[in-house]
A = this chain, B = another copy of it.
Amino acid sequence: MKTLTYAQQHQARFLAELKEFLRIPSISTLPEHRPDVERAALWLQERLLEAGFPTARLIATAGHPVVYAEWIVASNAPTVLIYGHYDVQPPDPLELWQTPPFEPTIVGDDIFARGAADDKGQLYAHVKALECYSRTVGAPPLNVKCMFEGEEEIGSPNLAPFIREHAELLAADVAVVSDTHILGKDMPSIIYALRGLVAVEVEVRGPEQDLHSGIYGGAVHNPIHALCEMISRLHDSNGRVTVPGFYDAVRDLSPEERAELARVPFDREAWLREAGVQSEWGDPDYTIIERTTARPTLDVNGIWGGYTQAGTKTVLPATAHAKISIRLVPDQDPQKIAQRLKDYLLRIAPPTVRVAVTCFTGTRGIVVSREGPAMQAASQAYTEAFGRQPVFMRAGGSIPVVTMFHELLGIETVLLGFGLPDDRLHAPNEKFHLPNFYRGIETIIRFMAILGQQTDPPGRV
């Protein structure tokens, strides 16, 4: 296949261009780097046009622009929507970098720079895969739309409005996001499920104002005590969540899926080391991987009340607060679960305090069918490019853009990641494994070729 040959022959130039991209300090959170973010967007637009896209433009948002490009080859061909982000995290703490964060440096098989893996290297693999098609067969084997945002590292504040406003422009059969990692450099993997998230904040009010604990302690219920009592009743002694109805909508894992998840290589000792704990915790009926990816969980993310500075102050505080978040599996409705937590907290609240619970909007968990054509195409492409069949796995966190595509465009997303677990995202000495850059380009070329053979109408991919 000459497209693949072209890719191999031009690796050196692709790398040189990636270095140019990495030299632009497009730090979205720092106002003084606003011109750099803009420069990265313009640079990317030019590369998309050079790669053969008939059209590429910047679309303004309330923040940094979206770089949009499309290449429609046939009205009956499937359409893939590629998402990536050209902004990066700040490099601090600078003193911990062994090479300058914005002077990409190659050491062995790795390129070190801020944004190397997150997400410039992975994004640019798509641009180069398209160039390979353009220069060898004149066009990609399916319709391609690219949406590259510049605000992922600040929480994509303008992305949902953008997608909503441009839903027609962005219409596609499937989305592809290359912003995750695979299990190892020779061990491809595909995340097919993400957990959802919903959060609440609890306020326990005791006395109207802070009291002297020497004068009122023992006769006025301390809201910190009440809050701790309530939090201690959110899990049983096995780490199962005790909120009534919490597990009602949770589908049991099928024996097949448990077997599939058991195939994910897992080194308990290494996991304990990474987590920085002596022993694991939680529901003994499930493996650590199942607990953290396939089961819903509840964590208190923050707690505060009373005097928290140095020394002592004998206060009986007026209030105590906690922030609680729940990771949801698919089929759990975020608002329903938040309401159940709220109801339970209000029910177990001692009558001697007043409790208020605020529920925040949540996002649902997502599962993509492993049998769909795009997932199968991804699986086959990985197998051919990496010489090994990918492992299907679930992830414990959420990826907001996947939820947006699901909710706003009604499409599923294939997470076609090329990073590695030790890429040090958001940390000093971020790197990208160069063989994964080249194999990534190859995987994308193969994925498009396989998917392009589908001529089904939209919605069937």
User: Which positions in A face B, CB cutoff 8 Å?
Assistant: 195, 197, 199, 206-209, 211-222, 224-225, 227-229, 231-235, 239, 275-283, 288, 291-292, 295, 297-308, 312-318, 320-323, 325, 327, 351-352, 354, 360, 395-398
Contact call B228/A214, Cβ cutoff below 8 A? no
- In the complex, how many angstroms separate the beta carbon of A349 from the nearest chain B beta carbon? 13
Decide: B214 and A327 in contact? CB cutoff 8 A.
Answer: yes
A208 touches B276 (CB 8 A): yes
Q: Determine if A197 and B295 form an interchain contact, defined as CB atoms under 8 angstroms apart.
A: no
- Give the residue of B197, B213, B279, B306 whose beta carbon is less than 8 angstroms from that of A351: B279
CB closest residue in chain B, given A227: B228
CB pair B231–A214 under 8 Å, yes or no, is: no
A-B contact pairs, 20 of them (CB 8 A): A207-B277, A208-B277, A209-B276, A213-B301, A215-B292, A215-B396, A218-B297, A218-B327, A222-B300, A225-B235, A225-B299, A227-B228, A229-B231, A232-B232, A278-B352, A301-B307, A303-B306, A307-B323, A313-B323, A314-B397
Closest partner residue, chain B, to A322 (CB atom): B224
* Majority SS at the chain A contact face: mixed
Which chain B residues border A322 with CB–CB below 8 Å?
224
Does B306 lie within 8 Å of A300, measured CB to CB?
yes
Residue from the list B206, B208, B216, B224 in contact with A303, Cβ < 8 A: B224
Measured in the bound complex, the distance between the Cα atoms of B231 and A277 in whole Å is 22
Contact flag A214-B397 (CB < 8 Å), given A299-B316, A303-B303, A312-B360: yes
